[in-house]
């Protein structure tokens, strides 16, 4: 594992143990800062090593979540050393010869890999799991998406920032200057998840949602409009998605299709106040869907509310599922 000391890395470690992932040796790699730290895993004490030319030798599968620039440098070296890499960063996702795979949506895309498999962005991942059964039944013409994204999507430092600011506001003392986000996140909503690349009026997170959705569903014709918002939730991204289908699709049929879809749990009883919530999704692997209803302004569109743990299905769960699929389908070492 590369990025073993991070938030996603921690969730991957939990899942590897819980799912009995077949492991002969588990090697924990991170930066020089973490070298020598120990992590308990399945009753063993494992020592973290710095990623380096020596520590990357002899690995079959690398589940990697150490940031884009680290991945750009080390993924090719890992592949050259014989590993198959499942990478969580955005660096490889849109490269033509790198499959971008969600285990419930396009697992067959793994077949053509050349040593690197990309794990999608968290907000895209949970949404396409919910969209896949609707897409298969009626096609998708257009999506209008608003996200409400948790701070754990930005890593450990962002959780610390939210907590420190929240303590200050509640305690009535000076709120510490933001370090991670451009503005105070506690008791606020930022119409900026990600950053604005030069000359773009969309954030990189919004571009990921647009481009990755088309790549995973294999349909460049889908029109996608996205606004990604950061909210002071610790874990669990929520998304309001307006889905315009190509063929007619009744909300009742959509509810049935979603209820039968792998990796989806429908929570949809608005009269009883039941709909998916981030605090319920946190720590779970499924994608939760509710508020399934007809868009009153468009007879060909449905509105749905999609919630999932960004560290689980949005990152670690899919990474581990892809590792399992690579082993089951005998697809390792294609580098
Ligand atoms: N959080 C999410 O919901 C989520 C979802 C999908 C994808 N991702 C992506 O996954 C990646 C990690 O996210 P995270 O939330 O786990 O971040 P994080 O908590 O900040 O952890 C970052 C990890 O990367 C390691 N790292 C940093 N610089 C390194 C270097 N130069 N060499 C080797 N290792 C290095 C860190 O090791 P040290 O502890 O030694 O610094 C740590 O293990 C990011 O690319 C992120 O975009 C995150």
**DSSP of 262-319, one letter per residue?**
TTEEE--BGGGTB---HHHHTT--SEEEEEEEE-TT-TTEEEEEEEE-TTIIIIIHHH
How far away, in angstroms, is 29 Cα from ligand 1 center? 11
Q: Check pLDDT > 90 for residue 335.
A: no
What mean pLDDT is reported for the chain?
97
- The rounded percent of the chain whose pLDDT value lies above 70 is 99
What gap in Å lies between CA 83 and CA 63, rounded to an integer?
10
Q: Check pLDDT > 80 for residue 84.
A: yes
| pLDDT, tens digit, 9 for 90 and up, residues 21-70 | 999 999 999 999 999 999 999 999 999 999 999 999 999 999 999 999 99
Does the Cβ of 37 fall within 6 Å of ligand 1? no
How would you class 141 by CB atoms within 10 Å of its CB: exposed for 0-12, middle for 13-18, buried for 19 or more? middle
How far away, in angstroms, is 17 Cα from ligand 1 center? 20
pLDDT given for residue 163 in this prediction: 98
How far away, in angstroms, is 223 Cα from ligand 1 center? 31
What gap in Å lies between CA 64 and CA 300, rounded to an integer?
40
Tell me what the mean pLDDT of segment 112-126 comes to. 97
Q: Check pLDDT > 70 for residue 217.
A: yes
pLDDT given for residue 285 in this prediction: 97
* Residue 126: alpha-carbon gap to chain centroid: 7
Tell me what the mean pLDDT of segment 106-128 comes to. 97
What gap in Å lies between CA 140 and CA 131, rounded to an integer?
9
Ligand 1 atom nearest to CA at 69: 31
pLDDT given for residue 333 in this prediction: 74
| pLDDT, tens digit, 9 for 90 and up, residues 234-283 | 999 999 999 999 999 999 999 999 999 999 999 999 999 999 999 999 99
At 298, the pLDDT band (50, 70, 90 cuts) reads very high
At 91, the pLDDT band (50, 70, 90 cuts) reads very high
| pLDDT, tens digit, 9 for 90 and up, residues 175-184 | 999 999 999 9
Does the Cβ of 323 fall within 6 Å of ligand 1? no
Does the Cβ of 70 fall within 6 Å of ligand 1? yes
How far away, in angstroms, is 89 Cα from ligand 1 center? 8
Does the Cβ of 315 fall within 6 Å of ligand 1? yes
Q: Check pLDDT > 70 for residue 316.
A: yes
pLDDT given for residue 35 in this prediction: 98
Q: Check pLDDT > 80 for residue 152.
A: yes
Find, among 246, 218, 253, the residue nearest to 140 by Cα. Answer: 246
The 8-class DSSP code of residue 330 comes to: T
- The rounded percent of the chain whose pLDDT value lies above 90 is 99
In a mutational test of the pocket of ligand 1, which residue from 50, 63, 65 has the highest number of ligand atoms less than 8 Å from its CB? Answer: 65
Does the Cβ of 231 fall within 6 Å of ligand 1? no
Does the Cβ of 282 fall within 6 Å of ligand 1? no
What gap in Å lies between CA 291 and CA 271, rounded to an integer?
10
Does the Cβ of 162 fall within 6 Å of ligand 1? no
Find, among 21, 241, 208, 10, the residue nearest to 120 by Cα. Answer: 208
The set of residues, in sequence order, having a beta carbon less than 8 Å from that of 277 and lying 6+ positions away, is 236, 238, 307
How far away, in angstroms, is 158 Cα from ligand 1 center? 12
0.85 cut: is pTM over it? yes
Active-site residue set = 122, 237
**DSSP of 151-198, one letter per residue?**
GGGG-HHHHHHHHHHHHHHHHTSPPPPPSSSSS--TT--BS-SS---T
The set of residues, in sequence order, having a beta carbon less than 8 Å from that of 18 and lying 6+ positions away, is none
């Amino acid at each position: 594992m590369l990025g073993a000391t991070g938030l996603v890395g921690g969730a991957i470690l939990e899942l590897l143990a819980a799912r009995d992932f077949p492991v002969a040796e588990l090697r924990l790699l991170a930066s020089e800062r973490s070298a020598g730290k120990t992590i308990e895993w399945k009753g063993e004490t494992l020592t973290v090593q710095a990623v380096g030319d020596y520590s990357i030798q002899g690995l079959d599968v690398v589940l990697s979540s150490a940031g884009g620039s680290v991945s750009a440098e080390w993924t090719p070296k890992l592949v050259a050393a014989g590993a198959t890499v499942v990478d969580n960063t955005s660096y490889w996702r849109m490269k033509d010869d790198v499959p971008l795979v969600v285990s419930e949506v396009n697992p067959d895309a793994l077949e053509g890999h050349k040593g690197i498999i990309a794990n999608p962005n968290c907000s895209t991942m949970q949404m396409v799991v919910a969209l896949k059964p609707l897409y298969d039944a009626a096609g998708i013409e257009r999506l209008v998406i608003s996200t409400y994204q948790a701070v754990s999507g930005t890593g450990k430092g962002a959780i610390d920032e939210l907590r420190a600011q929240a303590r200050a506001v509640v305690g009535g003392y000076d709120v510490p200057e933001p370090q991670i986000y451009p503005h105070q996140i506690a008791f606020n909503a930022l119409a900026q998840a990600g950053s604005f690349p030069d000359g773009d009026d969309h954030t990189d997170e919004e571009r990921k949602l647009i481009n990755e959705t088309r790549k995973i569903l294999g349909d460049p014709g889908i029109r996608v409009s996205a606004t990604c918002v950061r909210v002071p939730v610790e874990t669990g991204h929520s998304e309001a998605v307006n889905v315009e289908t190509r063929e007619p699709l009744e909300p009742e049929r959509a509810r049935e299709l979603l209820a039968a879809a792998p990796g989806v749990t429908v929570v949809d009883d608005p009269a009883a106040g039941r709909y998916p919530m981030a605090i319920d999704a946190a720590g779970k692997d499924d994608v939760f869907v509710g508020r399934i209803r007809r868009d009153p302004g468009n007879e060909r569109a449905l509105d749905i509310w999609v919630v999932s743990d960004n560290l689980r299905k949005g990152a670690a769960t899919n990474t581990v599922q892809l590792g399992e699929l690579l082993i089951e389908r005998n697809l390792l070492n294609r580098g």
